[in-house]
Amino acid sequence: MDKLIINGGCPLKGEVRISGSKNATLPILAATLLTDETCVIRNVPRLLDTHTMVKLLKSLGKRVDWDKDRIIVMSNGPVNPVADYKLVSTMRGSICVLGPLLTKLGEAKVSLPGGCVIGVRPVDLHQKGIEALGAKVTTEGGYILARAKKLKGARVYLAGASGPSVLGTANIMMAATLAQGETIIECAACEPEVEELANFLNEMGARIRGHGSPRIVIQGVKRLHGADYRMCFDRIEGGTFVLLAAMARANFVIRDIDYSQLTALDDVLGHIGVRVQAERNLVRVKAPKVLKPFSITTYPYPGFPTDLQAQYTAIMSLTNGVSVIRDTVFPDRFMHIAELSRMGARIRREGGSAIVEGVKALSGAPVTASDLRASAALVMAGLVAKGRTEIRRVYHLDRGYENIDKKLIDLGACISREKE
């Protein structure tokens, strides 16, 4: 395993480019299982999660060529309906092969997924959705077993205890593309990544409308063909760099970012005194010397993203006052609190909230990354802290941020990667 060594306080300047969206790439790669024809996906980020999905597609019988930021998925004979535990257990997004395998082959055996340890992440909405389409579903030996001679369109209500399910919406939408008749997903996830998947499916010949809204309508078709598609930019990586620029009072330019997808973040930044200038796919950030405290609650899109909660917690640790941060999407997603506290932050947890009392400065310390977004928060803290920070288990970071240490070095950060 690798670790990152950061010497804090180096001024950041220049420009950084945002990579393709991880959370859109994974279900779109899974969607290539719906056709026997060739699919070309462009602007693909080179991430650990992307490599895992490519391995999964190969294990299912697809041929995959990856050249720079372009992935070509081709038929390589019969598709295997079994998604093995060794791959699926490492990445939550792997569950997205369930819908495509079931609707294309009439059966699927998919291991229950893994990923970051950020609390309970059930798959009950996935099961509820495909059962509504006529599948018989059981869970045995850590696998979801689903069968259906032919899925049939239905009305599916996908609200969960913490709101709509992004991956659940993606799975049901993909399954419905080849089902008989019309499927209506009520309380569907509205995230841009769901909209991106629907756009890709429509390029393949699907008939989907309403994506980007809580009500998605899918008219089943007999077959889907190949497609050539360019991935959107990663809004969470973009938001992370915006927060870093504000936290470090840095004068760098962020390119290839769709800031219109970060409306909730922009509103919050205004409350803490940060001004953001957005021009097309380019953003500049200007922050005051002293940031104002401001309390937030995470919600499904278009609310404040849970995937930016840890990074926001880090920036609030350096304000002049107290902030309350509540996560309604993943109420247990606060494992970064202990590590930020090691760096001098004053944070305590009360139920599903973090109470952050701002301090004047953070100090470098040895810390351990617990999950993908917590890793980003620790990198941000290390870049502004006094002294040396050593971040262990950065494989979490490599799951969702493409070449982040190189991007930071190009901005002037004093950061290096070493073997543990």
State how beta strands 346-350 and 296-298 pair. Answer: unpaired
- The full DSSP string for 106-168 is SEEEEEPP----SS----HHHHHHHHHTT-EEEEETTEEEEE-SS-B--EEE-EETTEE-HHH
Nearest to 201 by CA among 183, 128, 214, 53: 183
Count H helices and E strands in the chain, helices first: 14, 26
Residue 406 CB contacts under 8 Å (≥ 6 apart), including other chains: none
Chain centroid, CA 133 distance in Å: 27
Q: Give the C-alpha distances (Å, rounded to integers) separating 249 from 242, 290, 380.
A: 10, 10, 12
User: Hey, what are 206's tokens?
Assistant: 């699907």
In the residue annotation, 116 being an active-site residue is answered as yes
Stated as kind and residue range, the H or E segment containing 339 is helix 336-342
Q: Which one of 10, 39, 96, 116 is the catalytic residue?
A: 116
CA–CA dist 305, 419 (Å, integer): 32
3-class DSSP state of 175 = helix
CA angle 147, 153, 159 (to 5 degrees): 90
Count of Cβ atoms closer than 10 Å to residue 135 Cβ: 25
Please identify every residue annotated as catalytic. 116
